[in-house]
Amino acid sequence: MQSNLQPCLYCGLAMGRTEPVALCGACWAVVHDRCLQHAGRCSTVQCPGDPATMVPADVAVVVGARIATANAEPATCPACGAATDYGRLVPPARRLWMRMTPGIWFEAAQGGPVGAGRRSGWHVPAAGLPGRRCRACRALYLAGQPVDARRSQSGAVFPYCPQCSAPFTSGWFDLQRYGSGAVGFVPQAPPGSSELRGHRATPNRFATGAGRQSVARIAGQCCSRCLFSLVSGLPVP
Ligand SMILES: [Zn+2]
Ligand SMILES: [Zn+2]
Ligand SMILES: [Zn+2]
Ligand SMILES: [Zn+2]
């Protein structure tokens, strides 16, 4: 998401390659550092964050490290005591006729059309949701918390998109939209780690069959304009 930075939310101008930027660790907005100094606070409406200054190239690194850190626990499953793996939740294989890029369907919570496109849901190109899964009972953990489809939104909820200021829609990432009920989990080595011993990260081996994964949808927020997404307070890569 951060490889191509959105224009600065504060001044509307493009981000340069070298001018210092400020990254907010609460809403993940990126603005020029000079704009942060001018504004004195994060530019996102209702955001209590305290943005940090860095060079543009470090934004993706910092975001990736934060995601990995947030998903470093639990190393063992609180439910059954077995080891957990770091990896990504991915939707089932898409049907070829859909001719879409890999991603996840987002469904607005209010059920009615939202945003400029007047849609109730849309496809979000994404590599998948980082998290952990228990090797034994297959319980899922996102940002260290057990995933429960009945659980309401966790993390701050913003009225406007931190990246482009369009209305920020609350809703659900529907992991079963594109298939017959299977949700895949692909173990991966976390950035800068030697975890994943003895595992080959192939979707076929680790994708789960229908009914073996308890979670079908995950609460989050998504922008209908730029598709920036937050789940459990973390950006969806
Ligand atoms: Zn600016
Ligand atoms: Zn913020
Ligand atoms: Zn378990
Ligand atoms: Zn947006």
Q: Which ligand is nearest to the CA of 6?
A: 4
- Ligand 1 centre and the CA of 7: distance in Å? 8
Give dist(CA 143, CA 41) in Å, integer.
26
Please tell me which residue, 64 or 99, carries the higher pLDDT value: 64
pLDDT reported for residue 149: 58
Give dist(CA 39, CA 191) in Å, integer.
34
CA torsion sign, 142 to 145 to 147 to 153? negative
pLDDT reported for residue 203: 39
Q: Residues 115, 106: contact at Cβ < 8 Å?
A: no
Question: Residue 109 carries which side chain, given as an amino acid letter?
Answer: A
In the predicted model, what is the mean pLDDT of residues 65-93?
88
- Ligand 3 centre and the CA of 151: distance in Å? 19
- Ligand 1 centre and the CA of 123: distance in Å? 29
- Ligand 1 centre and the CA of 20: distance in Å? 10
- Ligand 1 centre and the CA of 16: distance in Å? 10
Give dist(CA 92, CA 183) in Å, integer.
5
In the predicted model, what is the mean pLDDT of residues 38-55?
94
Residue 151 above 70 pLDDT?
A: no
What residues are neighbours of ligand 4 (ion), with CB under 5 Å? 161, 163-164, 166, 223, 225-226, 228
Give dist(CA 13, CA 28) in Å, integer.
18
Give dist(CA 37, CA 19) in Å, integer.
14
pLDDT reported for residue 175: 79
- Ligand 1 centre and the CA of 61: distance in Å? 21
Q: Which ligand is nearest to the CA of 163?
A: 4
DSSP H stretches of helix in 12-57: 33-39
| CB half-sphere exposure, 179, CA atoms < 13 A | 20
Confidence at 2, pLDDT banded by 50, 70, 90: very low
- Ligand 3 centre and the CA of 209: distance in Å? 17
What are the tens digits of pLDDT across the range 104-145? 888 898 766 676 667 888 888 776 788 998 988 888 899 998
- Ligand 4 centre and the CA of 6: distance in Å? 9
- Ligand 3 centre and the CA of 79: distance in Å? 5
- Ligand 2 centre and the CA of 94: distance in Å? 34
What are the tens digits of pLDDT across the range 3-32? 578 899 899 999 988 999 999 999 999 999
Q: Which residue reads 């945003």 in tokens?
A: 115
Q: Residues 126, 103: contact at Cβ < 8 Å?
A: yes
DSSP 89-140: EEPPPPPGGG---SEEEEEETT-S-BTTTTBSEEEEE-S-EEEEEETTT--E
What is the end-to-end Cα distance of the chain in Å, rounded?
Answer: 5
Instruction: Give me the chain's average pLDDT, please.
Output: 80
Residue 234 above 50 pLDDT?
A: yes
pLDDT reported for residue 116: 60
pLDDT reported for residue 213: 56
Give dist(CA 228, CA 221) in Å, integer.
8
In the predicted model, what is the mean pLDDT of residues 95-106?
66
Q: Which ligand is nearest to the CA of 132?
A: 3
pLDDT reported for residue 150: 60
> Of the ranges 153-157, 176-180, 201-205, 213-217, which one carries the lowest mean pLDDT score?
201-205
What are the tens digits of pLDDT across the range 166-203? 989 999 888 777 765 556 778 888 766 654 444 444 43
**Edge-to-edge strand ranges of the sheet holding 21-23:** 30-32, 21-23, 52-54
- Ligand 2 centre and the CA of 236: distance in Å? 16
Asked if omega into 7 is within 30° of 0 (cis), the reply is no
Confidence at 83, pLDDT banded by 50, 70, 90: very high
- The residue ranges of every structural domain in the chain are 1-70, 73-235
Could you tell me the pTM of the whole model? 0.82
198, 202, 203, 208: CA torsion to nearest 10: -30
